[in-house]
């Protein structure tokens, strides 16, 4: 089964063979060259990889693994990270949910399930929220310090960065920039060569230093891009 959503359900006694397909992110002549991480944790943060995940393998475009065991009513956070032949690093975070089904219906009542969705978001992101992408357009030969993507925090809100995507056809360094409590903040991201980096985490990159209302969150390139070289970036973001 190919996983398209960010969560998957099974019953306790089922053993499902799952696939995560990265082909949409791979460039021409680029393939997966290894699995950097395949780890699974329960809702209390305990490492249950050996109990829940079996035999992770990969081919040119996908990673495959068995989803087994688990207790009914429990959820498990799976993080998979792969590297490619062109040096890119791709990461997917999935919520694996074990739920007993009786006569085609889940044992829990709809009210319980409604609460469970809120709990799932809290487990996944540390808040009962769902981040969204802010997409930047392709930029050719950007000047030094150019904003490849910008997200303005709404009035009365605080902004949190849960991930980013950066692509460039050459080596450069980048910064994620924001303002917290009136102070400028940044995270430097070095690029040793052409490629793309897609990053998402359960914890916000600026946790404890949320972006101030009315300010911009940007991703900028540190050095000017060379003639004809294309850059692009996006931010995985939420306001609370």
* 93-131 tens-digit pLDDT: 888 889 876 544 544 444 444 445 555 555 566 667 788
Taking only the tens place, the pLDDT of each residue in 166-185 is 999 999 999 999 999 999 99
At a CB cut-off of 8 Å and minimum separation 6, what does 2 contact? 18, 19, 20, 21, 62
Check residue 115 and give its pLDDT: 43
What are the structural domain ranges in the chain?
A: 7-125, 132-239
Q: Was domain 132-239 assigned CATH 2.60.40?
A: no
Fold match, 7-125 / 132-239: no
Check residue 99 and give its pLDDT: 84
Check residue 84 and give its pLDDT: 94
Quick one: pLDDT band at residue 3, thresholds 50, 70, 90?
A: very low
Check residue 110 and give its pLDDT: 46
Provide the b/e sequence for 50-86 (b: ≥16 CB within 10 Å): eebbeebebeebbbebebbbbeeebbbbbbbbbbbeb
User: How many other β-carbons are positioned within 10 Å of the β-carbon of residue 136?
Assistant: 20
Cα(138)–Cα(233) distance, rounded to whole angstroms? 8
User: How many other β-carbons are positioned within 10 Å of the β-carbon of residue 115?
Assistant: 12
* Average pLDDT of the chain, as a whole number: 87
Q: Give the number of residues written for the chain.
A: 240
Check residue 126 and give its pLDDT: 67
CATH architecture designation of domain 7-125: Sandwich (2.60)
Quick one: pLDDT band at residue 17, thresholds 50, 70, 90?
A: confident
Q: How far is CA 187 from CA 80, 86, 139, 174, 217, in A?
A: 23, 24, 21, 8, 11
């Amino acid at each position: 089964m190919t996983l398209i959503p960010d969560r998957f359900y099974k019953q306790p006694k089922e053993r499902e063979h799952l696939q995560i397909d990265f082909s949409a992110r791979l460039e021409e002549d680029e393939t997966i060259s290894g699995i950097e991480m395949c780890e699974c944790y329960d809702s209390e943060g305990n490492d249950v990889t050996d109990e829940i995940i079996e035999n992770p393998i990969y081919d040119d475009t996908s990673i495959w693994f068995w989803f087994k065991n688990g207790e009914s009513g429990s959820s498990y956070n799976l993080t998979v990270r792969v590297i490619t032949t062109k040096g890119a690093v791709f990461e997917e975070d999935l919520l694996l949910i074990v739920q007993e089904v009786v006569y085609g219906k889940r044992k829990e009542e709809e009210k319980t399930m409604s609460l469970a969705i809120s709990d799932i978001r809290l487990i996944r992101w540390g808040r009962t929220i769902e981040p969204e992408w802010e997409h930047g357009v392709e930029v050719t030969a950007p000047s030094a310090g150019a904003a490849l993507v910008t997200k303005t925090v709404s009035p009365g809100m605080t902004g949190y960065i849960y991930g980013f995507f950066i692509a460039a056809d050459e080596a450069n360094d980048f910064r994620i920039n924001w303002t917290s409590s009136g102070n400028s903040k940044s995270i430097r991201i070095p690029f040793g060569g052409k490629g793309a980096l897609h990053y998402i985490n359960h914890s916000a990159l600026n946790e404890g230093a949320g972006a101030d209302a009315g300010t911009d969150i940007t991703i900028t390139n540190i050095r000017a891009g060379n003639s004809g070289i294309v850059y692009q970036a996006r931010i995985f973001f939420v306001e609370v």
